[in-house]
């Protein structure tokens, strides 16, 4: 079973921070549009799938491909977004993460964890052995890096852009640190404060679900999931029931510290060996050049498909088919 | 696993129709308050549990008792309510059933079925053998009777009052029939029209979930669930994967035609043998005098507890304990 947790943060609208949308303003619609695309031929809240400013398609196309092949159940979770997705979804909250340069990012963090925990407990009672949790949270690598720094990790998170805006991220985070008067590592033993000050509702929701569920959890994502894992660890959770499933594009990203930070957190990871270099479409071939990389649980969905006997190559082939279907609709 | 589907219909605000709330206006809050009470010591949206105008407690107290004993998972589903419950819930829609004397009750019926179906499909992929579905829908016995009449059943639905307002129900339904120009049985082969014209969002949601799930379904409720079953049958579903679980208070209610209509629909039923005659509290002893009877999946929750080895007597004892806890909080 796979959950996709949707989150928004105002941070995604800071120009240059996020390419998870054609414009900073459109990043607000990316989480619901991603969710809808998993269940319909195209999103409902907007007529096209989310793309980067340069037109690269959302990684939801990988999740959808794996889902169509392996037929696993997917439940959408609204951790906190501007708009509700127009598909059935587990409602946790409509709280959006605020710009942490100006004030607390998520005063609702404890409330969200409490609610998400109730949902996680129900999943635990269902007798499921394991759940896979992905996310769609534009701007989320910046909140993740802020949280990791606050907790004392010397981490660089990844980016959906080949030009990881590390100096802008650092500048935004330092501004948030100045507001709160903290330095790196000051919140190492205060994970709830780190989450409230710099986090986003996706993180709070996954923490709550994980605590309530109690069983094995696959965090399906890249460096954002390292922030979630680091928070869970600081809250006293053992890492041995957690693993990360992500893509090789994140693991091999030299602009981030995925491998080092995963080791420091003490969480194991799976890296989906997707290869789009022979795709018919430039938008997909560009994944090999560092565009997009991960999101919407793409790596974890591939992991589920591989566990069911499909190859990463079959997932990549299905992605091409889905992209072709989108192109044909565009012409029609 | 148990789902509780929440629905509202404007019909509950017609004076005299519903006692699922202290006043007609308060019936609007009953579904979210019922849902919240299942997870917390008291509701959040309002400070007290739902009661009849004479102070009889919501049947959610039975569901909560069974849940606390047997520890089964409960997922709240917002089929269509005025307000969202302040607990995690599967959002299907916020469409409220309209007063069918004045216009179509549920123009969104097909849309709701489609969305609920997606959720049901995910539950089916989880490999669950069976799901139990209860509901909280004030005014729902009137929409149920209207649907049953439109489909050609000579049915009387039950009521949460010992004085079943049958003449008022009939008058309201006849007014709706006059608006649409139909007579009893005219929609026997048009279940979607019957649902749109006279139904409520709870019915549409359960129909969609049932179609999507595909496995065994326990409809946890009384005469309202007969309307759901009758619609499903008219839509071509075989009744052999469905059963009803309700209480003896509904089955033995002489003001309704539960037994006869269940036979006519061709659905089997379980009757929870709860006995509140020796309760410490008048509000609960009055269940034996025809107050409340059923709701929020009380009969189905008892069935789940009995399947797990508890007796109906243990459920009744737990209900008394919960009521005592409420009384103590009231004093505090």
Average pLDDT over residues A89-118: 98
- Least CA distance to B119: which residue of chain A? A88
Gap from B320 CA to chain A (nearest CA, Å): 25
Give dist(CA B253, CA B163) in Å, integer. Answer: 11
Q: Helix, strand, or coil here: B176? A: helix
CA geometry: angle B316, B320, B323, nearest 5 deg: 135
From chain B, the residues in CB contact with A74 under 8 A are 122
By the CB < 8 Å criterion, does B116 face chain A?
yes
pTM for the whole structure? 0.96
From chain A, the residues in CB contact with B115 under 8 A are 87-88
Task: Using the predicted structure, report yes or no on whether residue A329 has a pLDDT greater than 90.
Answer: no
By the CB < 8 Å criterion, does A126 face chain B?
yes
Give dist(CA B119, CA B211) in Å, integer. Answer: 10
Within 58-87 of A, beta carbons closer than 8 Å to B belong to 71-75, 78, 84, 87
DSSP B214-281: -SEEEEESSHHHHHHHHHHHHTT--GGGEEEEEEHHHHT-TTS-HHHHHHHHT-EEEEE----TT-S-
Average pLDDT over residues B14-34: 96
Greater confidence, A189 or B329?
Answer: A189
- Residue B89 is nearest to which of A72, A91, A124, comparing CB atoms? A91
- Residue A90 is nearest to which of B72, B88, B123, comparing CB atoms? B88
Q: Helix, strand, or coil here: A284? A: helix
From chain A, the residues in CB contact with B308 under 8 A are none
Gap from A234 CA to chain B (nearest CA, Å): 25
Q: Give the pLDDT of residue A330.
A: 79
Average pLDDT over residues B118-126: 97
From chain B, the residues in CB contact with A124 under 8 A are 73
Which run of H or of E encompasses A2?
strand A2-7
Task: Using the predicted structure, report yes or no on whether residue A332 has a pLDDT greater than 60.
Answer: no
Q: Give the pLDDT of residue B330.
A: 79
Tokens of B101: 């004397």
Size (chain B), residues: 332
- CA neighbor of B221 nearest in space, from B296, B290, B151: B296
CA geometry: angle A285, A287, A290, nearest 5 deg: 130
- Residue B122 is nearest to which of A73, A78, A128, comparing CB atoms? A73
Gap from B58 CA to chain A (nearest CA, Å): 22
Gap from A135 CA to chain B (nearest CA, Å): 17
Task: Using the predicted structure, report yes or no on whether residue A54 has a pLDDT greater than 70.
Answer: yes
Task: Using the predicted structure, report yes or no on whether residue B332 has a pLDDT greater than 60.
Answer: no
Give dist(CA B52, CA B72) in Å, integer. Answer: 28
Contact between A123 and B73 using a beta-carbon 8 Å cutoff: yes
Q: Give the pLDDT of residue B329.
A: 87
Q: Give the pLDDT of residue B12.
A: 97
By the CB < 8 Å criterion, does B128 face chain A?
yes
Q: What percent of chain A lies above the pLDDT cut of 70?
A: 99
CA contacts within 13 A on the Cβ side of B68: 20
Q: What percent of chain B lies above the pLDDT cut of 70?
A: 99
- Residue A91 is nearest to which of B71, B88, B115, comparing CB atoms? B88
Gap from A79 CA to chain B (nearest CA, Å): 10
Task: Using the predicted structure, report yes or no on whether residue B201 has a pLDDT greater than 80.
Answer: yes
Tokens of A29: 């619609």
What is the ipTM, given to two decimal places?
0.93
Q: What is the pLDDT of residues A80-97, one digit of tens each?
A: 999 999 999 999 999 999
Label residue A94 exposed, middle or buried (CB < 10 Å: 0-12, 13-18, 19+): middle
Task: Using the predicted structure, report yes or no on whether residue B43 has a pLDDT greater than 60.
Answer: yes
Architecture of the structural domain at B2-278+303-331: 3-Layer(aba) Sandwich (3.40)
Average pLDDT over chain B, rounded to an integer:
97
Average pLDDT over chain A, rounded to an integer:
97
Tokens of B8: 């509202």
Q: Give the pLDDT of residue B331.
A: 67
CA geometry: angle B206, B154, B176, nearest 5 deg: 70
DSSP A95-148: PPBP-TTTS-S-TTHHHHHHHHHHHHHHHHHTT-SEEEEEEE-TTHHHHHHHHH
Label residue B129 exposed, middle or buried (CB < 10 Å: 0-12, 13-18, 19+): exposed
Q: Where are the domains of chain A?
A: 2-263
**For A2-263, CATH number?**
3.40.50.10210
Q: What is the pLDDT of residues B5-23, one digit of tens each?
A: 999 999 999 999 999 999 9
Which run of H or of E encompasses A178?
helix A166-180
Q: Give the pLDDT of residue A331.
A: 67
The number of beta carbons lying within 10 Å of the beta carbon of residue A278 is 12
Average pLDDT over residues A30-47: 97
């Amino acid at each position: 079973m796979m959950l996709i947790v949707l989150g928004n943060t105002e941070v995604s609208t800071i120009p240059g921070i996020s390419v998870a949308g054609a414009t900073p303003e459109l990043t607000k619609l990316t989480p619901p549009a991603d969710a809808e695309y998993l269940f319909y031929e195209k999103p409902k809240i907007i007529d096209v799938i989310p793309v980067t400013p340069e037109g690269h398609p959302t990684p939801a196309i990988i999740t959808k491909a794996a889902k169509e092949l392996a037929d696993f159940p997917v439940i959408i979770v609204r951790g906190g977004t501007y708009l509700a997705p127009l598909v059935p979804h587990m409602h946790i909250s409509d709280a959006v993460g605020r710009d942490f340069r100006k004030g607390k990012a998520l005063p609702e963090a404890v409330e969200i964890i409490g609610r998400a925990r109730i949902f996680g407990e129900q999943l635990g009672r269902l007798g499921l052995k394991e759940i896979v949790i992905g996310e769609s949270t534009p701007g989320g690598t910046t909140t993740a890096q802020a949280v990791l720094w606050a907790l004392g990790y010397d981490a660089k998170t990844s980016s959906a852009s080949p030009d990881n805006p590390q100096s802008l991220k650092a500048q935004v985070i330092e501004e948030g640190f100045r507001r709160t008067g903290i330095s790196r590592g000051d919140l190492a033993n205060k994970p709830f404060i780190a989450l409230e000050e710099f986090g986003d509702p996706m993180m709070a929701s996954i923490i709550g679900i994980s605590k309530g569920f109690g069983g094995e959890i696959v965090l399906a994502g890249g460096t954002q999931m390292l922030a979630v894992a680091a928070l869970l660890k600081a809250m006293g959770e053992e890492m041995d029931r957690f693993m990360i499933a992500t893509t090789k594009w994140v693991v091999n990203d030299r602009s981030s510290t995925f491998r080092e930070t995963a080791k420091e957190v003490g969480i194991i990871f799976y890296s989906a060996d997707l290869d789009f270099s022979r795709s018919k479409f430039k938008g997909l071939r560009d994944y090999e050049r560092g565009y997009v990389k991960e999101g919407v649980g793409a790596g974890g969905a591939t992991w589920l498909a591989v566990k069911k006997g499909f190859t990463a190559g079959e997932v990549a082939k299905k992605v091409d088919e889905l992209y072709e279907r989108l192109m044909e609709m565009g012409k029609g």
